[in-house]
Structure 1
Amino acid sequence: MENANAEGMAEPPVHSQAAAVLEIERRQNDFVPIGRLPDEVLEPVFIYVRDSDTDELVKGKLIKYHFLYAPKWTFVTWVCRRFRAVCLGHPLLWSQIRNYTPKWLFAFLERSMACALDVRIDTILHKPASLKCILQSTPRMRALVLEGFAHANFEHVLSAMKVLTRELTTLSLLQAGGPLAAVGGPTVEAMVHIDNSLLCNVNQLRRLDLRGRISHIHPSSSLLSPSLEHLRLEGAYTAAELTILLREAPSLQSLVLRGTKVYAPPGARETPESITTIPLLRLSSLDIKIHFREEVPRLLHILNLPTLRHVSVTLASFHFGNPITTLSALSSLLQQCNNGAPFQSLRLQPIKKYSDGRCVGQHIALWHSPHTGAKSKFSHPPLSPPQADIGFQPRSPYVDPLDAHTLVSFYKNLCTCLPLASVSTLTIDINRNLPRSAWKDILRPLSRVEHLKLLGKWPVLILEALAITPFTLPALSHVAISRPMHAPGTSPPLLLELMGVAKARAGERRIHIAFIDCVGFASKRYESLREFADVTWDHMSFFDDGAEDEDEPWLALISG
């Protein structure tokens, strides 16, 4: 494209008379002091304007464009001739390629000249000619992010992969439709082609993101370089593949693995017994969602993560009948988080979906700050995002197959195996009618709990277990009740059990009871509690005891 044509593209599509007025305004702006600043000052300013425009597209609500558009930042070229000359003469300004219309796309590729490119596009939006033009520039790309990667543009992507630059730092292939978009024979064939085409020498690669079953990477791929810092994989990976794969990337700082279905080809190997540890000494964030198999606990157990700060593990198709081995591996993983600092808060909460609020799975979430889980209102998530969480999904994603006996046994093992001995704040939101004897066994390992908050429909059953004897949660000093208007049990049974809890501990200390967000409660009915306990209403700072949120961790368990 000729320079005149590229410059002409920056002209707004206006009427000739309006263009004359614009020309007069440009000439006037040429004499403004800011227009006479040197290039060394204007160029960083224009780059900031460009990056601000890009950040708005990434972080704003319009992150997913379903159409091609023109870049907004180029309006600065219409202010004055000086700004225009600086922009057109600075190649770095044109080095970010997005989902632009063809005219702008070709102009950016030309104007960027020999600069390293940052390409982030949705391949479905571009015609073959535009896509081919973009991929021909891969030798000078520093970042390549392709969304919508699928069979339709498969050949173009493969041809581009073979000539990737050695300076590439970011590579992302994001297949449209998620990890289950492609299945069957074509998927397996696509995996083979991807593995063969990614055998390029990318020494500077720092971030690798492969999503979708078609974007399967083999553990022997050269993309898993020792310099890789951020890795996200989505698709079907066995525990054996992950074991070898993680050994090839010792410098990882963050790891995200997604895929509820495990692709296990015939003759697939189990986790190599010769590998006794996977040292990821710089890993601070671990996020895994994997189909549960017998070798998964061993994979978790051999992870060596001394700098771990955030951990998220979701086990799909989990068998709840014998969880001891898995819980032991998870305990080993949790003890490495935050330098082994003890957890001080625990939350039990169901995962609900659909309009009827039906529970569809069990999920354990962990945070590293005190009392955060207890501060949230009924049916709301904790105020701070979790630093760690662990999920147990049943074999059916729509129906909870657990009977009460299996669920109680699971809770007992969970509270015994996980490092919960230092828990002092406990929040329970379980809509399962578990017997009082079961709650006694579940809560027995949590002997240091001082603050208890009850959400959901069945607080009476938990209070029954506490009212029988003070030896269940012997250190208990604060109890909070948070109930919706429609919840049952707002009448005398709840009052009687609260009275029993207060009386059982009257000889030791005067217990504090708070009613938080209890719409429709008759406060006068509970005035008799004041004889044995201190009672407050709608006091949301009930658990704020002056503790700082930065140093002491807490744990929240979410379950069905």
Structure 2
Amino acid sequence: MTAAIRSSTNSELDEIDEEIAGYEDAIRKLRSRRNSLVPISKLPAEILCAIFMFIPTHGPTPLRYRWHWITITHISHLWRTISLNCPELWSTPDFTKPNLASEMIKRSKMAPLNIEVTSNSWLTPWVLKTVGESLKQITRINEIHLLASRNNMDKLLSGINYPAPLLGTLILDLTDYYLSERYIIPQDFLADDASRLYHIDLTGCHLRWDSSLLRNLAYFKVRNPGPPAPTLDQLLSVLTAMPQLEELDLEKCLPKSLPGNTSTNATGKSRITLPNLRNLRITGALEECVTFLEHVHIPTAATTHVRATCSQIPQKGSTTLVLINQVCQRLPLVRGNKNMPAPPGTRVPVIKSLLVHLSSRLYIQAWDDIPSEVALENVSPGSFAHASTAGWFKIEFAWEHTLVMDHLIDDVVAAICSPLPLLQLSNLHIDNSYSESSSYPACAKTFGSLPQITTLTIDGMSGHEKFVGAYTDVRDIAVASDRVNSGSGHLTLFFPALHTLKLVDTDFDRPNHAQGATLLYSLLDYHVYREKLQRPIHKLYLEDCTHLTSEKVDELKKVVDVRWDKVEHGYEDENGYLSPPL
């Protein structure tokens, strides 16, 4: 009896379940019919697929968000059908989920693949196997971007020795190159055949310099590839084979200079031009940079960044100073190569803003306009050092074994800037990190006589001496346009067009070694001095200054319009502690 009742109940339940399933199926069909009436569902499948392609996010997106885009396959039956039949949507597999990555590769069918591994921490044995299997489909891979350790890089690339007819971008980044040997890319990699390759980016990886892959590139970046460095002939041959090159970045792989040769004019090597180059960055020994710039002509409008390491101290009359000057003489804006005029419609930049950074390394960065952080109204002008846009050109010099003493800085700055066209310079920022100052004002000789500098920023604790040097003891500097007859000779007014002065991180209690006066009284004297010459300072900005009080600011306001951040620090509190900068 009990069994019969149980059987009857189960039969009734089955009937109810079938009825529910029927209703659910009917509801799905009704929803599908309803969705088909929505305007977006009437778009052609190709259009919807193109829209879906904007949804996937790869690269630096946080992992927890990287798969949100896949919900488009759950919106409706139509969307799922279209997305599953859109191979391009699945062409960038996410190897953080190996099973799904394998499924994406299947769904991509024969669409060009993008293989991206942007963290070596992902590369578990399972992920390594999945990535390795995907790389075997090299004939349909469009982009390879691998960031891996030396061992993992070798596991992934060994055996990839057949042509890559669709490959356009190759990025190999060795994460541990500074701890281990560089990775030497196998000679038979890609069978040395990738006819569409236009972008190569290698860090810590060595590709032989006679490889056929180094042809017809638009982007070429090689950093720290390890020995051997290319010969000058090899590098010139490689670059000659890239007439459409737009970006070039070479770090620690420049040709060695000829022994005993301080000028490359006598090398007898050919010179090449890169007429389409927009961005250049080179890093190497000072002599190597001179050699490169002598033999490779860069368009005047190209953004240029040179980082040179000097093996000797730049003493007056030294070879180092000569080579520093030669680097700057060979910059595109200085060379003014008549054989490579700017293309029609290209604006040839001029130097309007300049940052001079003085520390254990010295660099100068220039803009052909005024950075937005600096050109601010009604607030303190921003710092060039934190400008959001990189300068049009930047030159850096560092020293291998020692720091350059402050008394040598003047000569180095003069060697760098003397070839530069600075007549239109209007904004100058001097960032001085030295705690002590030389007896003669650094940079005063180089910049003080320029006729159009309207804004000057002095940044650093020893800014007092640097600033004071811009208007005292100047009888030995001749400027034809601004001489004042004092009865005992001709005094020259430095920065004749200056109307805005900014002092940052400067100590107002620090005495000037030459005069003994503190900065407050030097500033008061300076403003009175310029008033007499009818060249007054209109605005004085004071930011993050030490030992500056409201009483001292009130004194300054009597002679000039002062903009102060109202930060007081550098004084001991009641417990004997110094108040830090806010």
Shift of the alpha carbon at 1:20? 12
Q: Deviations over 1:525-553 (max 9, x none)?
A: 3555566x53232499xxxxxxxxxxxxx
1:473 to 484, 494, 516: 494
Would the aligned equivalents of 1:482 and 1:516 in 2 still touch at CA under 8 Å? yes
Q: 2:202 aligns with which of 206, 210, 213?
A: 210
Preserved CA contact (<8 Å) 2:450 2:495: no
Say which of 110, 114, 119 aligns to 1:118. Answer: 114
Q: Give, in whole Å, the separation in 2 of the partners of 1:390 and 1:110.
A: 50
Maintained 8 Å contact 1:210/1:232 = yes
User: Does residue 1:225 correspond to 2:215, yes or no?
Assistant: yes
C-alpha displacement of 1:169: 1.0
Aligned mates of 1:85, 1:277 — CA distance in 2:
58
Contact 2:365-2:395 at 8 Å conserved across structures: yes
Q: Does 1:324 align with 2:322?
A: yes
Query: Which one scores higher on RCO, CA 8 angstroms, separation ≥ 6?
Result: 1
**Residue 508 (structure 1) aligns with:** 534
Task: Confirm or deny: 8 A CA contact 2:247 2:279 kept in the other structure.
Answer: yes
Task: State the Cα distance separating 1:139 from its structure 2 match.
Answer: 0.9
- Aligned counterpart, 2:171: 172
Paired with 2:235 and 2:523, the residues of 1 have a C-alpha distance of 50
Partner SS for 2:172? strand
Q: 1:255 aligns with which of 243, 248, 251?
A: 248
**Mapped contact 1:320–1:410 kept (Cα < 8 A):** no
Distance 1:392 1:489, change over 3 A: same
Q: Evaluate the alpha carbon distance shift between residue 295 and residue 108 of structure 1 in structure 2; reply closer, same or farther with a 3 A threshold.
A: same
Structure 2 counterpart of 1:431: 433
For structure 1, the 5+ residue unaligned runs are: 1-18, 351-358, 541-560
Relative to structure 1, the CA distance from residue 49 to residue 368 in structure 2 (aligned partners, 3 Å threshold; closer, same or farther) is: farther
How far apart are residue 285 of structure 1 and its match?
1.0
Q: Name 1:521's counterpart in structure 2.
A: 548
Aligned to 2:572: none
Report the equivalent of 1:278: 272
Secondary structure of the structure 2 residue equivalent to 1:163: coil
Stretches of structure 2 lacking an aligned partner (at least 5 in a row): 1-20, 315-319, 337-341, 376-380, 475-490, 567-582
Percent identity among equivalent residues? Answer: 17
Partner Cα separation in structure 2 for residue 21 and residue 326 of structure 1: 84
The number of aligned residues is 489
Root-mean-square deviation (Å): 3.9
2:339 corresponds to = none
Could you tell me which residue of structure 2 aligns to residue 150 of structure 1? Answer: 150
- C-alpha change, 1:525 and 1:173, in structure 2 (3 Å) is closer
After TM superposition, the structure 1 stretch with the greater mean CA deviation from structure 2, 438-447 or 308-317, is 438-447
> Which of 1 and 2 has greater Rg?
2
Post-superposition Cα deviations, 1:166-212, rounded to whole Å, max 9, x if no partner, equal 121111112222x42432xxx4xx52x53442552222112111111
Q: Shift in Å at residue 502 of structure 1? A: 2.5
1:53 to 30, 33, 56: 56
Tell me which residue corresponds to 1:403.
Answer: 405
Q: Deviations over 1:398-439 (max 9, x none)?
A: xx6111232232122223233333322222221323335243
Higher mean C-alpha displacement, 33-42 vs 167-176 = 33-42
* Aligned pair partner of 2:521 in 474, 484, 496: 496
Query: Which amino acid is the alignment partner of residue 172 of structure 1?
Result: I
**Residues 53 and 89 in structure 2, CA contact (< 8 A), matched pair in contact too:** yes
Say yes or no: does 1:386 pair with 2:380. no
One-letter amino acid matched to 1:250: P
Distance in 2 (alpha carbons) for counterparts of 1:21 and 1:100: 40
With over 3 angstroms needed to count, the CA separation of the structure-2 counterparts of 1:199 and 1:297, relative to structure 1, is farther
Work out whether residues 211 and 234 of structure 1, in 8 Å CA contact, stay in contact via their aligned partners in 2: yes
Partner of 1:3: none
Which residue of structure 2 aligns with residue 15 of structure 1?
none
Q: 1:500 to 1:466 in 2, by over 3 A?
A: farther
Match runs of 1:450-489 below 5 Å:
450-468=454-472, 469=474, 471-484=492-505, 488-489=509-510
Q: Which amino acid aligns with 1:368?
A: D
Contact 1:467 1:500 in 2 (8 A): no
- What is the rounded CA distance, in whole Å, between the counterparts of 1:412 and 1:172 in structure 2? 40
Structure 2: how far apart are the matches of 1:283 and 1:194? Answer: 29
| 1:138 is aligned to 2:142 | no
CA shift in 2, pair 1:451/1:201, >3 Å = same
Which secondary structure does the structure 1 equivalent of 2:354 belong to?
A: strand
What's the TM-score once normalised by structure 2's chain length?
A: 0.73
SS in 2 for 1:482: strand
